[in-house]
Structure formats: C-alpha cells, structure tokens
C-alpha cells in the first residue's frame, strides 16, 4: 500500500496543464463585456446585463427580486443569483453576524435555508426536523416539525445522513426524509398536510435531495446506488401527495417514460428499450442511475432537466454495454414526465462519476447567436454547454486536471476515454483524475448575468485504484477495491473557480486547502459567497476573486449560502455550518484517520480535517451594521 | 432531541426488546457474573446473529462469556457499511463477533474458522459443478450476490465476469429487503425454487439454509480457492475488538484456543463448511 506522502510527492511533479486541455471549439464571437462597467448601482436588470456578459438567465424571476428564497437554487434556472445589492463589493467588509441558531445535530448540514415572507425554514440532517424561525424576532422558533422516521434508517442508509433542503410553494414546505418519505408541511402552522412513502429504506432506498415544485407537482428522486437500487424520478401531486408518475432510469421504455416524443440528439442514445438492451439480461433491475441531485425547469419549453447517477454493480466487466440511462441528462415534459431527450455523458461508467450535478439554464451567445443552453459542470471534469431544446453538446471544456479522457467528440457525443485508466478487479490504476467524487460533486455553482461568470466550488482530487481489501457485509466477506484519494496538481484539494462561459476558461480561481464542498451564491452587489470545510465563510469580489471578507464559523461548511431581504428591509446572508457528507465523514462520522480507504478512499485525502474543524450544526445569519 | 440522544434512546429500545431473549440465552451462566461482554451484532441475519439469539455467533458469544464469567449485552445494528463506525468505534460495545481476519477497521483475534464460497445446486438437476472453469457454467443460470456500485462486489461476481460469464448471471443484493427475515438468504431459496440453477454464496449461509429447503441441495466448495490475479474465495474469520484494545484481544484469543473443540462442534451443528 502506498503512503499518502508518496502520493503527495508524485502529485507535486504534475504540471498544471489545464489550459492545454481546452477544446478547440470556442463559444466566443462577440465578447463585449468590459471590466470597468461594474461600478454602477443599483443592479441592472438581467436582460440588460446580458448585453454586457453575452449571457442571461433563461428564466428570470418575474419583475424585481422579491427578496425571498423559495427553493435551494433560488430560481428554476438554478443560478443562485440574487438581485439584492445592499451588500456589495464596496461594503461587504463590514458584514457582521446578526444572529445564529443551533440545530443540535452533528451530521453534515448540506441544506439551503428557505425564506418565505418573514419566516426562515431549515431542514436538518436525519432525523430531518424542519425548523420555522421567526425573522421578526431573530432566532426564535415558530414551530418544529418532526417527521415520523424509521430510526433504523441511519443504520440502513448509506453514507452521512445529509439533506439538501426543502422547497416552498402555495403555502406548503415540501421536503424528503432519509427514510424515503416526501412530506408537505403547512408553512404557517407546521402541521403535516401529507406524507408519502416513495421508496423503501429496507431495500436500501433513501432520499437526500431537495425536491423541486413545478406547477402542481413535487419532483423527487432516490438515493442508494451503493445498495444496488434502481434509480427513479417521481412526481407527486402537490395538493394530495399522490404519486402522479414515476420515471425509472433503467428498464423498458414504458417504465422510463420514453415514448414517441423522445428525440435524443445523438444516435448513441436512440433505439428501443435501451434501458434493457444495453445491459446483460436483467441487470437493469439493480442498475443504479439514482436521482439524488438537482432538477431545473424551463417554463417556456415546459421541460425539466436532471441527471442520473452511476450504474451498478461495481466491476464494469459485469455490465458490458452502455448501461442506459445511467450517468446522463434527461429532459422531460414537466406535466407527463415523458422523456424529450437524453444525453449519456458517461456510457458504461468506470469511476463512480454520478451525473447528478446542477443544470444552469442560460441564454448564451454561441458563435454570434443567442442559444437556449444548459450549463453542466460535470463530475468528469468538463463544463458542458448544451442546447437545452435538443440535447446537442455545443462544447465540453475541462475545468480541472483530467487524465481519464481527452474530450468529447461533438459529432457523436462520445467521450474519448484513455484506455490505460480503465479499472478492474485486481488491477492497479494510478492517477485517476478526477477522483470518484469528481472534479465537482453535488455542490452547486452560481451564475451572475452581470459578470457572465459561473462560480464553481469544486475539488482537486485524484485517486489510485489498487489491490484489494477485505470487507464484510451482512456476514459475507469479500474483497473490494482499495481506493486512495489525494490532492491533484498543486497539492491543494479544492478550488473556487470563476469560469468564463464565453471564453471557455477560468477568469480567476481561489485555492482551497480542502475540497470546496459548499454551494455558491452570487449577488447583484457583485459579491460571491461560499464556505470552506475548515469553517470559513467567505465573500469574494465577483469580478476579480479578491477576498473581501471572511468569518470563521463553528464547524466546516458544506451547506448552501442564501441571501434575503428581512422584514426590516435589510439584506441578510445565511449559511448552515456543520461538517460532514462524503468528504467530511472523517469528522462527522468519527472515521479513523489511519484508515485511508474509509469513506471509499476519501479519508486518505482528508486526514488533517479533524485538526481544523469539529462537528455541530449551526445557522449563521449576517448583515451590515 | 439531538441525534446522539436519539441513538441512545433507540439503543435502549432495542436492548429492552432483546432483554427477554437474552435472559434465556444465559440460563447456564454463573449466578452473579462480575462482568459484561458488550457485543454489537446484526439483529436480523441468520445463521450468524439475530435478535432471538438463534445464530451460531450468538451461541459463540454465550460460550465466550461463560468462559469469562460474564454476561452478554447486545447492541443491535445492521451489519453493513458504517457498522464498525456506529458500533465498536462509537463505543457502544467492545466486541463484534465476526470479521475477516485481515479486516483493517478493527483488531482481529485469532481466526476461529476458515470457510469458503460454495456452489449450491439442486441434487435432482444433474449438475456437478466444482470449478469456475467448468464449461457448464456458460449455460446454467447462476445467482451471485451483489454488494453495490462503489468499488465492491462479491468474489464470484468478479470470477464469472472475468470468464465472460455475464448474460446468464442474476444478481441478488446481499442487503436484500431488511423488513424480511435474514435478507441475504433469498439467493439460497432461489436455487430451491428453480429461479437459478446454481448459486455461488459464502459457505456458512449455504450450510445453514440449504438443508432447510424443501428439496435436497448440494453444497460444493468453489475452485480455485484464489483466482488470479488476487481474488480469494476462502476467508479466515475472527472476532473483532477496537483497534488498540490488545488486552481484550489477548483474552479472547485465549478463550478461542481453550474452547476450540466446543466451537468446532458449534460450527458443525450449524453446517458451516470449513477448509
């Protein structure tokens, strides 16, 4: 077994050849933005700023930003962009903690708080209490909803017991519990309106994702690929909690909700019952493709977009074929769930690259033409820009050091893979970059129409897949892959990158000691916020990346920052602190730092985290004095 | 309530639920034992352990406790990813009853048995498979256990895939449906029902459940014992204690040595195949 020191040394010899990997295709054309135009206040409208950046949010909120935060991604376009500008690049250095709130929960806090009127809503990790906090009397609790959950869930569910947040619509708060129930709670009273079991924790199905509410439907997807479950996205009636439809990620077309309206852009995604035929017989039944990430919605096209997780079981030799419809992006009719198109980012995935990341919907100037695109910073290390009406890949540009592929063939849609990096039983494969959590895991990016930049919190990790290690599940011994993760080029584990969508390259980046595992938030005040795993909540100048302010919270941050206008008319910024999740399991799960392969090899890369942070969930809310 | 106190509450409920059975399990223990052997185990996984204390590891715990003049106190937790973290490392117990001897998350005692993966098939089907290299495996329907999608799988799944035996292989998740008794046992039942012709499973599971089916089943150790480049089908099994707890490890080693004949007899009673 190789020590982390060796790995670290090797990594240092690596060259930062990120730019060299850039694809030839450029988005460019008329990049007219100038750096000098950011002095004005108040914020220009999104439409006007499009002229500056060549990009605009596809689905801007109607009229002015109302100062609320109703869904984790802020809007259906998933930009996490707020038009509030009271806090701006000039005054953010004066930001002070206004109030705090303890969840009393020591698991990883990945959720975004919501703000509806004068109430804030916070979902905590398992057992998934929902807190309603009175913003007119900061920190005081209006009510707590405690869902009846199966206490065995935490022994049965995989990984840390995170929850990525709730969504608000029509007087109700909707969210999911770890033991696979979807609940609707009256936002005013805290009374349960309905509660629907959507999966079976006894079969390994759990839910960690935040739902998205589109018209009269609540959209929910499952987790549990580690247990060989079959992935799905389900729509529930928002009024009654009844299941309206379910679209599986594997299996026959009628169960995947593929019909005559299904028009994938690439030939590789066309054909009847590929969810069955691209697998060995019957293997699709335990094929994975779980839906534990983000969903976006385009009201004009009436399409929802989401990604599917990696295929199971592990050992790709056991599932020859493309393993449809795992590791790809679905566009579906928002009402019926019928698939419109699909693009498989990673046919026959080898590296646990779950394709569940966020999809940012923008109107972008591509080659002089405004195109309706979706932007997907993907686990495999590429930023994909796709036509969201058709599923065509317009560009795919690496944003980290990538060793396992050399780029996407835009004619066929195929990823060009490096065969030498193929993993297998008993085979040693070194320097797999990015590592299994990807260049970027679930941690959502933010986009500002004022700068045209996509703000990416991400990882800089590689891994070795080597040898075998004895393991034991349910009385059955076996040997598993010995995965060791370590820092990528530069020796640091995280980066916060401002990605210039028009140029297809980074405008600036901030180096982080640990993986940047929190979400990002950007505002019309040209400030971008994110948190670090060692507990710093930071504000950067959205244009230059200069650090303007930071605050040390009680625990590492893996949550999603939000901003809102309080009942007093002031702008606030809020973040949940509380380390955990896959990367933070070494702290939240008290894993042994001597065992580098714990948490699927992530502990090897995180041995020093306990020296920087301890666990404990706390909400922090900041404002100008 | 914090998740910590919830955990404690949960454990308390489980311990109380188990209490009645536990008392029965110690009928022959000394009247006033001076110590407690704190054991973590899966409440629903025969033939290894269950909450009714019917598994051979439950009996082993009794045997060891008797030798140490102790009583057994159980903390129940499903034995899957996170088991050691939530049990031994969380300090809710000092002993787990079985781990592979080369397991890195805990300190292993001396092995108390060595078993092997086995082929299981109906005696009435004219099947005589003894090796992964038997050409018959290309045609038969074969059941294997699946672990998940994150770098782990059962050795037979790998051995068959590396021989190109894929299309006639059916996966049975090792986790099963936890609301049912002994979830991993479904694969043995599948052989009896004729869902598959052959299953390749860990010996103790087959040894216990095969004789309990309605039709006679054959159990044959797989060959080779180690597939190339390094894929073992044979594992030494030890008890496990917290890393660093060498004192308890040494104590248990002595008991396992002293009680060797009784342990062997126990394993025989449960039909544990040994190599």
- Chain centre to alpha carbon of residue B17: 23
pLDDT for A479 equals 76
The shortest CB-CB distance from B152 to any of A311, A314, A475 is to: A314
Q: Does A222 participate in catalysis according to the annotation?
A: no
List of chain B residues whose C-beta atoms are within 8 Å of the C-beta of residue A483: 151
Q: CA of B85: which chain A residue's CA is closest?
A: A591
Which listed residue (A160, A298, A322, A352) is catalytic? Answer: A352
Residue B89 CB neighbour total at 10 angstroms: 18
Q: Is the pLDDT of residue B180 over 60?
A: yes
Q: Do A313 and B147 touch (CB under 8 A)?
A: yes
Q: What is the mean pLDDT of each run of 10 residues along chain A (625 residues)?
A: 30 28 28 32 41 66 80 97 97 98 95 98 97 94 95 71 96 97 98 97 92 98 88 98 98 98 98 97 93 97 97 86 97 98 95 94 92 97 98 97 97 95 82 93 96 97 80 83 86 96 95 96 98 97 98 97 97 96 73 67 82 93 98
State the smallest CA–CA distance between residue A63 and chain B in angstroms.
42
pLDDT for A93:
98
CB A478 within 8 A of CB B153: yes
- Selecting from A281, A310, A426 the residue whose C-beta is nearest the C-beta of B231 gives A426
A342 or B26, which is more confident: A342
Does the distance separating the beta carbons of A152 and B147 come in below 8 Å?
no
Using alpha carbons, select from A368, A366, A406 the residue that is nearest to residue A390: A366
Contact between A311 and B151 using a beta-carbon 8 Å cutoff: no
- Examine the residue annotation and report whether A310 is marked as an active-site residue of this protein: yes
Comparing B23 with B158, which gets the higher pLDDT? B158
* CB proximity A127 to B under 8 Å: yes
Strands A192-197 and A360-366: unpaired
Strands A429-432 and A461-473: antiparallel
Please name the member of B81, B103, B229 whose beta carbon is closest to the beta carbon of A426.
B229
Q: Determine the average pLDDT of the residues in B225-244.
A: 91
Task: Say how far apart CA A133 and CA A116 lie, in whole Å.
Answer: 10
A21 DSSP assignment: G
Predicted confidence (pLDDT) per residue in B250-267, tens digit: 999 999 999 999 999 999
CA nearest to B10 within chain A: A151
CA–CA separation, A432 and A420 (whole Å): 10
Q: Is A471 helix (H, G, I), strand (E, B) or coil?
A: strand
Q: Are A209 and A217 in contact (CB under 8 A)?
A: no
- Put simply, the chain B residues between 140 and 169 with a CB less than 8 A from any chain A CB are 145-155, 157-158, 160-162, 166-169
Residue B147: per-residue pLDDT: 82
Name residue, tokens 């004619």: A411
ipTM surpassing 0.85, yes or no? no
Q: Which residues of A touch B174 (CB under 8 A)?
A: 473-474, 476
Q: Which of residues 2-61 of A touch B (CB under 8 A)?
A: none
Buried/exposed A297-333: b ≥16 CB within 10 Å, e otherwise: bbeebebbbbbbbbbbbbbbbbbbbbbbbbbbbbbbb
Residue-level pLDDT at A60: 55
- Given the residues A186, A188, A216, A226, select the one marked as catalytic: A226
pLDDT in the model for residue A114: 98
Identify the closest residue of chain B to A289 by CA–CA distance: B149
**A472 close to B (CB below 8 A):** yes
Closest Cα in chain B to A144: B1
**Residue in A314, A479, A594 nearest the CB of B231:** A479
List chain B residues with CB under 8 Å of A161.
Answer: 3
The tokens 């092995």 sit on which residue? B111
Environment class of residue A482 by beta-carbon count within 10 Å: exposed (0-12), middle (13-18) or buried (19+)? buried
Nearest CB to B86 within list A104, A106, A155: A155
Please state which of the ranges A226-230, A459-463, B31-35, B92-96 shows the lowest mean pLDDT: B31-35
- Residue B147 and residue A288: Cβ atoms within 8 Å? no
pLDDT score, position A178: 94
Q: Which of B105, B161, B176 sits opposite A315 (nearest CB)?
A: B161
Instruction: Give the pLDDT score at A33.
Output: 30
Contact residues on chain A for B180, CB-CB shorter than 8 A = 202
Of A61-65, B96-100, B131-135, the range with the lowest mean pLDDT is A61-65
Which tokens is B106 given? 């805990």
Give yes or no for residue B3 having a pLDDT over 60: no
Q: Estimate the share of chain B in helix, then strand, then coil, as percent rounded to the nearest 5.
A: 35, 25, 40
SS3 B185: helix
CB atoms within 10 A of CB A93: 12
Pick from B15, B151, B241 the residue to mutate for testing the A interface (most A CBs within 10 Å).
Answer: B151
* pLDDT the model gives residue A63: 56
Phi-psi region of A139 (alpha: psi -120 to 50; beta: other; left: phi over 0): left
- The distance from CA A569 to its chain's CA centroid, rounded to whole angstroms, is 31
Buried/exposed code over A610-619 (b: 16+ C-beta within 10 A; e: otherwise):
bebbebbbbb
């Amino acid at each position: 077994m190789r020590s982390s020191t060796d790995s670290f040394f090797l990594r240092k010899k690596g060259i930062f050849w990120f730019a060299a990997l850039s694809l030839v295709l450029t988005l460019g054309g008329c990049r007219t933005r100038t750096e000098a135009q950011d002095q004005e206040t108040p914020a220009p409208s999104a439409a006007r700023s499009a002229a500056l950046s060549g990009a605009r949010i596809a689905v801007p909120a109607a009229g002015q930003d109302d100062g609320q935060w109703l869904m984790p991604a802020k809007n259906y376009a998933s930009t996490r962009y707020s038009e509030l500008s009271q806090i701006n690049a000039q005054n953010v250095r004066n930001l002070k903690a206004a109030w705090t709130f303890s969840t009393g929960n020591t698991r990883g806090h990945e959720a975004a708080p919501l703000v509806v009127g004068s109430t804030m809503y916070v979902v905590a990790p398992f057992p998934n209490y929902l807190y309603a906090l009175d913003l007119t009397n900061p920190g005081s609790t209006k009510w707590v909803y405690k869902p009846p959950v199966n206490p065995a869930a935490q022994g049965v569910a995989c990984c840390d017991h995170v929850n990525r947040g709730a969504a608000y619509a029509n007087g109700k708060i909707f969210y999911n519990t770890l033991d696979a129930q979807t609940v609707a709670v009256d936002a005013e009273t805290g009374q349960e309106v309905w509660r629907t079991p959507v999966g079976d924790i006894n079969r390994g199905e759990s839910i960690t994702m935040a739902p998205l509410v589109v018209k009269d439907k609540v959209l929910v997807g499952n987790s549990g690929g580690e247990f060989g479950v079959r992935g799905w996205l389900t729509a529930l009636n928002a009024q009654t909690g009844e299941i309206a439809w379910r679209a599986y990620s594997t299996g026959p077309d009628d169960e995947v909700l593929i019909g005559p309206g299904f028009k994938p852009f690439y030939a590789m995604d066309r054909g009847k019952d590929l969810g069955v035929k691209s697998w060995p017989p019957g293997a699709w039944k335990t094929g994975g493709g779980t839906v534990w990430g983000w969903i976006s919605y385009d009201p004009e096209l009436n399409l929802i977009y989401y990604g599917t997780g990696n295929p199971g079981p592990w050992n790709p030799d056991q599932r020859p074929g493309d393993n449809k419809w795992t590791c790809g992006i679905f566009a579906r009719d928002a009402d019926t769930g019928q698939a419109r198109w699909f693009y498989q980012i990673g046919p026959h995935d080898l590296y646990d690259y779950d394709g569940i990341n966020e999809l940012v919907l923008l109107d972008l100037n591509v080659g002089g033409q405004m195109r309706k695109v979706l932007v997907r910073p993907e686990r495999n290390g590429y930023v994909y820009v796709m036509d969201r009406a058709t599923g065509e890949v317009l560009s795919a540009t690496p944003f980290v050091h990538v060793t396992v592929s050399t780029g996407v063939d835009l004619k066929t849609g195929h990823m060009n893979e490096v065969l030498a990096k193929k993993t297998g039983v008993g085979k040693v494969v070194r320097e797999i970059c990015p590592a299994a959590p990807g260049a970027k895991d679930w941690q959502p990016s933010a986009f500002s129409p004022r700068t045209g930049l996509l703000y990416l919190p991400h990882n800089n990790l590689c891994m070795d897949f080597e040898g075998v290690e004895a393991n034991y599940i349910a009385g059955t011994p076996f040997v598993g892959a010995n995965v060791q993760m370590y820092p990528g080029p530069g020796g640091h584990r995280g980066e916060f990158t401002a990605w210039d969508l028009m140029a297809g390259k980074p405008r600036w980046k901030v180096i982080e000691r640990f993986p940047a595992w929190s979400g990002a938030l950007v505002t019309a005040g040209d400030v971008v916020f994110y948190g670090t795993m060692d507990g710093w909540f930071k504000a950067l100048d959205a244009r230059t990346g200069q650090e303007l302010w930071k605050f040390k919270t009680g625990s590492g941050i893996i949550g999603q920052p939000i901003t809102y206008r309080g009942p007093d008319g002031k702008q606030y910024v809020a973040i949940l602190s509380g380390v955990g999740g896959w990367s933070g399991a070494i702290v939240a799960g008290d894993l042994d730092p001597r065992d580098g392969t714990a948490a699927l090899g992530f502990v090897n890369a995180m041995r020093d985290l306990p020296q920087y942070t301890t666990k404990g969930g706390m909400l922090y809310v900041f404002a100008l004095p | 309530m914090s998740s910590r106190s919830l955990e404690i509450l949960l454990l308390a409920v489980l311990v109380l639920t188990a209490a009645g059975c536990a008392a029965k399990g110690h009928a022959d223990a000394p009247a006033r034992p001076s110590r407690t052997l704190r054991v973590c185990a899966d409440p629903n996984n025969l033939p290894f352990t269950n909450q009714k204390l019917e598994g051979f590891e439950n009996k082993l715990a009794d045997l060891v406790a008797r030798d140490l003049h102790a009583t057994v106190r159980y903390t129940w937790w499903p034995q899957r990813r996170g088991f050691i973290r939530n049990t031994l490392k969380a300090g809710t117990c000092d002993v787990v009853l079985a781990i592979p001897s080369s397991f890195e998350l805990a300190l292993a005692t001396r092995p108390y048995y060595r078993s092997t993966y086995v082929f299981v098939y109906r005696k009435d089907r004219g099947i005589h498979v003894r090796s992964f290299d038997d050409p018959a495996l290309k045609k038969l329907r074969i059941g294997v256990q699946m672990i998940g999608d994150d770098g782990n799988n059962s050795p037979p799944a790998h051995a068959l895939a590396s021989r190109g035996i894929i299309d006639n292989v059916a996966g049975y998740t090792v986790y099963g449906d936890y609301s049912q008794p002994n979830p991993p046992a479904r694969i043995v039942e599948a052989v009896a029902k004729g869902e598959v012709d052959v299953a390749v499973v860990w010996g103790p599971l087959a040894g216990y459940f095969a004789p309990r089916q309605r039709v006679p089943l054959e159990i044959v150790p797989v060959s080779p014992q180690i597939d190339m480049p390094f894929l073992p089908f044979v594992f030494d099994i030890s008890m496990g204690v917290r890393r660093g707890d060498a004192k308890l490890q040494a104590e248990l080693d002595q008991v396992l040595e002293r009680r060797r004949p009784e342990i062997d007899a126990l394993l025989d009673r449960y039909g544990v195949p040994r190599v």
